[in-house]
Amino acid sequence: MKIGIVTYHRSHNYGALLQAVALRTVLQEMGHQAFFVDYWPDHQKKRYELFAWKRFKNMSLGGKLKYLLMFLLKLYPVLQRRFNFGTFLRDRILPYCISEESTFDVIIYGSDQIWRKQKEAYNPVYFGHNRFKASKHISYAASMGSIPSDSTDKTYVKSLLSHLNAISVRESDLESFLQELGVSDVTEVLDPTFLIEPTGWDLFVKKKQSVSSPYLIFYEMQKNVFDTEDVARFAKERGLKIIYLSGNVDSYPNSSKKTTAGPYEFLALIRSAEFVITTSFHGLAFSIIYNRPFFASFSSNSGRAKSLLDKLSLSDFLLPFGQKIPQRFSPIDWEKVNEKKRSLARSSLSYLKSALES
């Protein structure tokens, strides 16, 4: 089959790119021709503007001076991060991008939070309501972020989902929400990153991580969830250096702050970490994939993490927002976790094959 994937395939975000590559890789291994439908709306492009001219013009004089100063201070690391993400995009994404005008047998929507409300609106394109040419439109591990409570939003989401021939989602609370809306045959599946074994991900690691001493990864996507002093205390007690990862260049990089790292280095750093503390779903996901002990916590949108960890019997490692990192905890039985993960992966692949063939 010729399959198109509609997702956030150009994001400068570790999880977005790695889940996109994972789904395409799995489809290719199943014998299909798989491509990224090169749909990238303007509001997403603007997130990666080097200089936000429109916003700059509307600032006060003081605001403009402050913006220019921060722009110049961060210009080099921002360019370095863009280069590292650009390398991954050129290697793993762009060669497989195909025009929106192409014709497909099936188009898959997902994974990632493609159903999230953006700019105060849901984008119908990610629900199959578009002009893309395909015989079938299905979702795989689609996510929404916040579950809508407004009755108008609920009605609209239900109408959008009617354009899909098969629906699968990434978390239990979204599955329950859709069932309450009266949407039948919703299946919960794993994020695509879990459909590839660690040895498969190793093929994406171009070189070993560059940190010689044992270290702890502190990967922040949501800010101020973990107390930095608490993280420092936890690392010091275990004799670990802290390596800081972030969703963007929020501080000047140095040997401990890898804010310019691209997806290749992200994988290498997680793989060799002694411990991971994260506020990122995919930071959590790759900790599990590489059997790295971890703690995760979120200020919001924790449903996807909770759903995953409940199924893997790892709920104790999802901390409530604001809770300090425990001093004592039981080690993870990775053999049991891996067995459950493989079982869930088999079920997810079974859904995908069935949805494609039916």
pLDDT per residue as tens digits for the range 298-346: 998 888 899 999 999 999 999 999 899 998 999 999 999 999 999 999 9
Same domain for 278 and 172: no
Helical ranges in 89-197 per DSSP H? 151-161, 172-180
Whether 53 is covered by a domain: the verdict is no
Q: Residue 245, SS3?
A: strand
Residue 174 — very low, low, confident or very high, per pLDDT cuts 50/70/90?
very high
What percentage of the chain reaches a pLDDT higher than 70?
99
Q: Is the pLDDT of residue 351 over 90?
A: yes
**Which long-range CB contacts under 8 A does 340-344 form with residues at least 24 apart?**
340/311, 340/312, 340/313, 341/190, 341/194, 341/288, 341/312, 344/190, 344/194, 344/311, 344/312
Calpha distance 113→255 (Å, rounded): 32
Q: Which of 342, 352, 305 is nearest to 140 (CA)?
A: 352
Average pLDDT over residues 70-82: 91
| Angle of the 281-289 helix axis to the 14-29 helix axis, nearest 10 | 50
Domain extent, residue 329, equals: 198-340
Give the CA dihedral 14, 19, 24, 28, nearest 10 degrees.
110
117 has a pLDDT exceeding 70: yes
- pLDDT score of 212: 80
Quote the tokens at residue 13. 């975000």
Q: Is 219 exposed, middle or buried (0-12, 13-18, 19+ CB in 10 A)?
A: buried
On whether residue 67 sits in a domain, the answer given is: no
- Answer yes or no: are the C-beta atoms of 177 and 146 closer than 8 Å: no
177 and 209 within one domain: no
Calculate mean pLDDT across residues 269-287: 97
Q: Is residue 82 part of a domain?
A: no
Give which of 327, 22, 173, 1 is closest to 9, Cα–Cα.
22
Q: Is residue 202 in some structural domain? A: yes
167 falls in which pLDDT band (50, 70, 90)? very high
323 and 218, same structural domain? Answer: yes
Output the average pLDDT for the chain: 94
The answer to whether 6 and 37 have CB atoms below 8 angstroms apart is yes
How much of the chain, in percent, has pLDDT values that exceed 90?
80
Q: Report residue 80 as tokens.
A: 């370095």
Same domain, 40 and 111: yes
Residues 212, 100, single domain; the answer is no
**What's the confidence (pLDDT) of residue 164?**
97
Residues 160 and 246 in one domain: no
pLDDT grade for 139, boundaries at 50, 70 and 90 = very high
Quick one: 325 and 351 in the same domain? no
How many domains does one find in the chain? 2
Asked whether residue 89 is assigned to any structural domain, the reply reads no
Asked if 164 and 290 sit in the same domain, the reply is no
Per-residue confidence (pLDDT) for residue 166, from 0 to 100: 97
- Residue 234 pLDDT > 90, yes or no? yes
Same domain (yes/no): 118, 221: no
List phi, psi (to 5°) of 66. -65, -40
pLDDT at 243 over 70: yes
pTM of the complete model? 0.94
Q: What is the mean pLDDT of residues 137-153?
A: 92
CATH value at residue 220: 3.40.50
| Banded model confidence at residue 209, pLDDT cuts 50, 70, 90 | low
Cβ pair 122, 147 in contact under 8 A: no
